[in-house]
A and B are shown apart, each in its own frame.
Chain A
Amino acid sequence: MPESQAQSAVVLELTRQIAELEKSSDSEAAQEEIDRLRGQLEALQRVGTGAPKDAWDRVLLARHPQRPYTLDYIQLLFTDFTELHGDRRFADDAAIVCGLARFEGRAVMVVGHQKGRDTKQKLLRNFGMPKPEGYRKAMRLMQMAAKFGLPIISLVDTPGAYPGIGAEERGQAEAIANNLKEIPKLAVPIVVIIHGEGGSGGALAIAIGDCVLMLENAVYSVISPESCSSILWRDWQHKQDAARILKLTAQDLRGFEIVDEIIPEPPDGAHTDHAHAAALLRPRIESSLRELSALPAAELLHRRHERLRKLATFVRES
């Protein structure tokens, strides 16, 4: 299918999904998703080719409806993927997928946020917004990885942790906080790949590692540009300004030394060629894993603690 034809098919699909969601008001997150879909339509129409990209262009690319999601990368980069479910406490959260797999023949544990592409999948995946059980499942399986000496590969792509009544009742904050405290203790290599949206604490909860890679058009931020705009300007109209001032691009984060390496994407973005995007990522995961696996466990943990201790220290004595 030529690209323009493929694009108009996506436009049609998105328009259909918006209409569908507007009809079904039974989903709690439906309204927010409608706004998001409208943003995606805008992305399709706005993001052109070749032109220099500003921060908002990257936000749109990071949320592009055709961008590869975690399961796409798993399919393209791993073999023998064996999905594992449930937090053993309450439920299985489909917004986070975890499982055993092989990377270049080596057994690893993969964890990642998962968004849905059609309406049914979007509802199932709760638009990629995990609840506490998702974070607890990831923690359980990361601890299992440490028990069996398996390196962990984490694929990050979420608008944020889900803000709902049930999520609060079951301790959303505690679930995220606990991951941030327990992941640093795991004595196996952890490679983090921010490949789409890095939505605040909901992303960070599975984004602590020894090596943090970020795709060229991915974004990582403490707040969405829309919410930032509504707090500072009292409306959503300044989302583009907000995207710029939040310094959320891969280049910005590399500059702050929060990200170790920027992974290039195909010229017009990862959504144009999933296999190519995965092929560009593969050698970087491989080299990181090789380097980290060579370290004795004590050294690995020591380096991780040093890294976290110095992370984002921007203070001065006055």
Chain B
Amino acid sequence: MTWFRREKKALEVPQEKRVQTEGLWVKCDGCKQIIWKKDIEASLHCCPKCNYHFKIGARARLEILFDGGRFTEHDAGLASTDPLTFQDTKSYRDRLKKAEKTTGAKDAVITGEGLLEGKPLIACAMEFNFIGGSMGAVVGEKITRAIDRCIAQRLPLVIISCSGGARMMEGAISLMQMAKVNAGLARLDEIRKPYISVLTDPTTGGVTASFAMLGDLNIAEPGALIGFAGPRVIEQTIRQKLPDGFQRSEFLLEHGMIDAIVPRKELRGYLARSLELLGAWNDQ
């Protein structure tokens, strides 16, 4: 008689019992916690635990900004002519097509007009997923046209930046957009209508060195990377590690480069109040 007897039945291979959770939960880049995605969406794509601000697209930005998420889009069909016929390992035309497919936009900025607490304004929002939100001829022209409209209609301007800088694939032409947009801002100065620059993560290079740092008010989302040179370029030049928090919103506030850090949830209220205080709608 044996004390032990082997079970005849082979071990059952467990059936696929995984619950499909992909897309329902998101790991927060700030606090590393796993968060229910709907909770993030409900709080304007900010982490409900640590208030980390997730990147969002240009269209979502404008929908958050304007009353009821409604706005009239301008110049939606404007597209690049590929003036350099730029070709490296891939052609610029293919890069543009791919970016258009992933973002549904023709280039890296969406511009439009709508209401903020019932008052009209013109706003531009940059799309980081379109070739790093880079500024080429289309971005420069759309923002300049937005400025032209502000002048013609005597409306205030809000630009929400999110960009790696000038677009390399348009060479010196992208560089000239900085001059074109800022000459537009010089004309906007004359009509005394406010321009508020909203800096989001990340805003660097030719965009900070043109319109993004020149708002009558510069405000930033918490923790956004904002600078002229990217941190990697600086590290390569000076051959040392950069201090923690370097070029973040809080660093810029401390160094006097921005007026305030405004969490996404408070943006609408902040903009409406400050535009009102600056007399943006006094003649409406």
A residues whose Cβ falls under 8 Å from a Cβ of B:
28-29, 31-32, 161-165, 167-174, 176-178, 180-182, 184-185, 198, 200-201, 204-205, 208, 220-223, 228, 231-233, 241-242, 245-248, 252-253, 256, 258, 304-305, 308-309, 311-318
Contacts and interface: CB of A to CB of B under 8 A. Distances in A.
Contacts, number: 198
Given A177-B182, A308-B179, A316-B79, 7 more contacts: A172-B209, A177-B213, A180-B178, A180-B210, A252-B172, A313-B141, A314-B83
B89 A222 contact: no
Nearest to A169: B255
Contact of A28 (B186, B187, B206, B238): B238
Interface in B158-192: 166-168, 170-180, 182-187, 189
B88 A245 contact: yes
A172 B229 contact: yes
Contacts of A172: 209, 227-229
Contacts of A204: 175-176, 178-179
Interface centre among A31, A161, A171, A248 (most CB of B within 10 A): A171
B171 A221 contact: yes
The DSSP consensus for interface residues of chain B is helix
Interface in B72-93: 77-81, 83-84, 86-89
A220 B172 contact: yes
26 contacts: A165-B234, A168-B227, A173-B228, A177-B178, A177-B213, A180-B178, A180-B210, A181-B182, A185-B186, A220-B175, A222-B172, A222-B175, A252-B172, A256-B83, A258-B173, A308-B180, A311-B180, A312-B173, A314-B83, A314-B170, A314-B173, A315-B138, A316-B78, A316-B79, A317-B79, A318-B106
A223 B184 CA distance: 24
B213 A174 contact: yes
Given A163-B237, A245-B84, A246-B171, A201 B255 contact: no
B239 interface: yes
Interface residues of B, number: 62
B11 interface: no
A184 B175 contact: no
Interface string B237-275: 111001000110000000111000000000000000000
A315 B81 contact: yes
The 7 closest A-B pairs by CB, nearest first: A163-B229, A173-B208, A312-B176, A308-B183, A180-B182, A173-B228, A172-B228
A76 B177 CA distance: 34
B83 A222 contact: no
Contacts of B189: 181
Contact of B78 (A171, A223, A315): A315
B112 interface: no
B233 interface: yes
Contacts of B239: 28, 31
B137 interface: yes
A177 B144 contact: no
Contact of A245 (B87, B137, B177, B208): B87
Nearest to B78: A315
Contacts of B171: 221-222, 246-248, 252
Contact of A171 (B174, B210, B211, B257): B257
Given A204-B179, A222-B175, A248-B172, A314 B88 contact: no
A316 B208 CA distance: 26
B210 A163 contact: no
Contact of A309 (B144, B167, B178, B227): B144
A171 B255 contact: yes
B178 to A, nearest CB: 6
Interface of B: 77-81, 83-84, 86-89, 106, 137-138, 140-141, 144, 166-168, 170-180, 182-187, 189, 205-206, 208-214, 227-229, 233-234, 236-239, 242, 246-247, 255-257
A84 to B, nearest CB: 25
A312 B78 CA distance: 15
A144 B84 CA distance: 39
A185 B89 CA distance: 42
B79 A312 contact: no
Contacts of B234: 163-165, 168
A201 B178 contact: yes
Interface centre among B176, B187, B189, B210 (most CB of A within 10 A): B176
Nearest to B183: A308
Nearest to B182: A180
Nearest to A234: B89
A314 B175 contact: no
A184 B168 contact: no
Contacts of B179: 180, 204, 208, 308, 311
Given A173-B208, A180-B210, A315 B80 contact: yes
Nearest to A238: B88
Interface centre among B86, B172, B246 (most CB of A within 10 A): B172
A309 B176 contact: no
Contacts of B205: 201
B177 A312 contact: yes
A314 B242 contact: no
Contact of A182 (B84, B89, B186, B255): B186
A222 to B, nearest CB: 4
B81 A164 contact: no
B212 to A, nearest CB: 8
B213 A318 contact: no
Nearest to B207: A173
A177 B210 CA distance: 4
